[in-house]
Amino acid sequence: MLTALELIRAHQHQKPAYLPATLDLSFAPEAWQRLVVTRVGGERVLDRKQLEACVFVCLASELHSGDVGGFCRTPRKGKANGNVCKERYRWMIRRATT
């Protein structure tokens, strides 16, 4: 999932409609995989908008369940090391919930 997130961030300003189908989508349920992977001119590609929705829905689900989280290397004022660093990951959380 992190590789997918990196791919999305790498293309966030270019906004291509399709991305190369080089990504492992095993983190996503089969229904999402069918939505994301498509064919254009006989070539297998990833629909960028569907991929973004898929990644952020899966990420939100993982964050909600506690299976994934971001941790600060330095503590926030009054907090011990290891607390979830919401400021660092706010862009992911905001994007996943909009």
* Interval 18-74: pLDDT, tens: 999 999 999 999 999 999 999 999 999 999 999 999 999 988 888 777 766 654 445
Mean pLDDT, to the nearest integer, of 70-92? 50
Q: Tokens 């399709």 map to which residue?
A: 18
Type of residue at 72 = C
Q: Tell me, what's the pLDDT at 35? A: 95
Q: In what order do the strands lie in the sheet with 37-40?
A: 18-20, 43-47, 37-40
Sign of CA dihedral 12, 18, 20, 21: positive
pTM of the model: 0.66
